[in-house]
Amino acid sequence: MTIRLALASDHGGFALKQTLKTSLGTLDVDIVDLGVNTADAVDYPEKAHDLSETILSKKADLGVLICGTGIGVSIAANRHPGIRAALCTDPFMARMSRAHNDANILCLGGRVVGPGLALEIVSAFLEGAYEGGRHARRLEKIDLK
């Protein structure tokens, strides 16, 4: 099954987003590129909100958000009920974010991880699958009522 993967970044993540976009062409994914398309400065919350809305409206299955550290976009994305954005710095974290937390957005730091490691992290995220079971009870407690 082809995964619809949304990508977005601010200027701090632009170079890594472009590299990932090219590299992911070898995987079974349809890329939805939400920008940015230049290294000109942009406010990261705008890109995080755009990508979160794309996931929530089911225009993409999963997303990857990139800013300088990955911290800002993860905070902004997680403001949306139903979004579970995980900042990951290695493939194990990415795999576990899917398996235990049913993460639907992967956040990366363009100034933190290099392109080779980033591709490994994204691949692990895409290959991961939610395990359910004991984790479902915990997920139900995330969104405040």
Catalytic residues: 67, 100
Nearest to 67 by CA among 30, 39, 32, 99: 39
**Angle at CA of residue 56, ends 34 and 83, nearest 5°:** 95
List the helix and strand counts (H, then E) for the chain.
Answer: 6, 5
d(CA 23, CA 84): 24
Q: How would you class 9 by CB atoms within 10 Å of its CB: exposed for 0-12, middle for 13-18, buried for 19 or more?
A: buried
Residue 59 identity (one-letter amino acid): K
Nearest partner of 62 among 113, 14, 28, judged by Cα: 28
